Amino acid sequence: MKKQFYSPPFLSPKSEKSLQELGILPKIIGVYKFDRGPPEVDAVFISHGHLDHSAYLSFIKRELPVYCGETTRTILQALSDVRRPNLEFSVSDIEFKAFRTGKKISVDNLEIDPFHVDHSVPGAYGFIIHTSNGAVVYTGDFRDHGAKPEMTRDFVENAKKAKPTAIVTEATNMTGATVSSEAEVESKLNSIVAGADGIMLAEFASSDVDRLNSFFHIAKKNKRCLLEALRKDKGLTVPAFDDEGMMIFRKSKKRFDKWEKQLIEQYEGENKIFDVFEVSKQQCNVILAVSFYDCDELVPLQPAAGSCYVLSTSEPFNEEMEIDYERLVNWLRHYGLPQYHVHVSGHIMPLRLKKALKEVNAKRIFPVHTESAGLFAGFVRDLKSQVTLVEKCKEYTL
């Protein structure tokens, strides 16, 4: 939505007024700092730490409690340590109330039951909300093909038991669906690294801990070490830097942020930190986590013949990303590096989603988090549940 109007960094929203004017910030009376009236809501619940679910917390009135999982709180606080606070992302002074699976929360006359779900960031939750008019289920972002599908199973079974009046479900993957799993991703990555003669450059989302673990496992299996550039969210460095298979890559830059300096100081004496010249000398022993913005490191690195690049995130999905991707491909072409794409989505696939919705059997289904709500409605039209396509800022009564 924001991308339809803005092109950062040169055209960014200057104040909340712009975001409200364009309907990017939803109109919910009294919940925002700049809104004087009393809030229409008693609390805010965050399902997980991805920014499409948490960024605009910066605008929330600080007297409103914000409920989220322990891990989400860690992620958001770490993010605010590594980024400079800006208009659209700041969690300073927020009154976080952290929950865990199985701990019910009462807000006014509602009872909210958070359930862990499998997603591409740790600490993701779905909610079963008990109201005087029956239960309402919210899936959050979820899948059943990641590293912990049993969590999603548990959520679906409990949602079914609640005999819900409504389920608000994500329906992201209605086009471009695939059949794969995190386990399959790991085995594909393994077959690439096993055959590579030079360095393996790997790009993956910094908060995707499942993927980090997949890379870590194949690094160990192939007697390489995984070199993580200093870009990780603090508190999410799983596996620990203390492990012998894990090294820290010091980027070739002159100024480091505070959290980077702290990490460097902590591990300096332990032979854990490698610069690009040291990496260049032992390319066969290394998987180097990089991003497009690190391409200039390739000049001192000089990748050996037989090196390769693995994109382990979703493919570029907008114009700016495509332009950056073309630039990346130019770099790789210059050094003779083939590109592999090995990834699995953080979102449930259509047939699996339909099966889960059939099992939960809510009276009504509200698809959200999708560009294909109409397609979704057609796909599930034989279920007993009635599908409602939602409109922005419209109220729905149960």
With CB under 5 A as the contact rule, which of the stretches 50-58, 185-193, 306-314, 320-328 interacts with Zn ion? 50-58
Contacts of residue 161, Cβ cutoff 8 Å, sequence gap at least 6: none
How far apart (Å, rounded) are the C-alpha atoms in residues 34 and 88? 14
Report, in Å, the least distance between residue 50 CB and Zn ion.
4
275 binds Zn ion (CB under 5 A): no
Question: How many other β-carbons are positioned within 10 Å of the β-carbon of residue 71?
Answer: 21
Report, in Å, the least distance between residue 280 CB and Zn ion.
36
Confirm if 142 and 233 have CB atoms less than 8 A apart: no
**Long-range contacts of range 388-392, CB-CB < 8 Å, 24 or more positions apart?**
388/364, 390/366, 392/23, 392/26
Report the site for Zn ion in 217-256 (rule: CB under 5 A). Answer: none
How far apart (Å, rounded) are the C-alpha atoms in residues 211 and 344? 9
Report, in Å, the least distance between residue 208 CB and Zn ion.
10
Question: How many other β-carbons are positioned within 10 Å of the β-carbon of residue 287?
Answer: 25
260 binds Zn ion (CB under 5 A): no
H helices of the chain, in order, are: 16-21, 51-54, 70-82, 149-161, 182-195, 209-221, 258-267, 276-281, 298-301, 319-335, 350-360, 373-379
Report, in Å, the least distance between residue 315 CB and Zn ion.
17
Considering only 13, 19, 50, 113, the residue that binds Zn ion (CB under 5 A) is: 50
Considering only 42, 52, 270, 296, the residue that binds Zn ion (CB under 5 A) is: 52
Q: Which helix (H) or strand (E) holds 216?
A: helix 209-221
How far apart (Å, rounded) are the C-alpha atoms in residues 80 and 124? 19
Q: Which of 67/142 has CB closer to Zn ion? A: 142
Six-digit token string for 150: 């049993």
Q: Which of 180/280 has CB closer to Zn ion? A: 180
118 binds Zn ion (CB under 5 A): no
How far apart (Å, rounded) are the C-alpha atoms in residues 2 and 179? 31
With CB under 5 A as the contact rule, which of the stretches 26-34, 52-60, 208-216, 329-337 interacts with Zn ion? 52-60
Contacts of residue 98, Cβ cutoff 8 Å, sequence gap at least 6: 67, 68, 69, 70, 72, 73
With CB under 5 A as the contact rule, which of the stretches 51-59, 94-102, 196-204, 273-281 interacts with Zn ion? 51-59
Site size with Zn ion, rule: CB under 5 A:
3
Q: Which of 101/339 has CB closer to Zn ion? A: 101
Q: Which of 250/347 has CB closer to Zn ion? A: 347
Q: State the binding string over 128-157 for Zn ion (x if CB under 5 A, else -).
A: -------------x----------------
Residue with token string 């995707």: 208
210 binds Zn ion (CB under 5 A): no
3 state SS of 49 = coil
Contacts of residue 317, Cβ cutoff 8 Å, sequence gap at least 6: none
Nearest to 147 by CA among 55, 207, 209: 209
Report, in Å, the least distance between residue 336 CB and Zn ion.
36
Report, in Å, the least distance between residue 266 CB and Zn ion.
30
Q: Which of 48/250 has CB closer to Zn ion? A: 48
347 binds Zn ion (CB under 5 A): no
With CB under 5 A as the contact rule, which of the stretches 14-22, 47-55, 70-78, 179-187 interacts with Zn ion? 47-55
Report, in Å, the least distance between residue 283 CB and Zn ion.
34
Interacting residues with Zn ion (CB under 5 A): 50, 52, 141
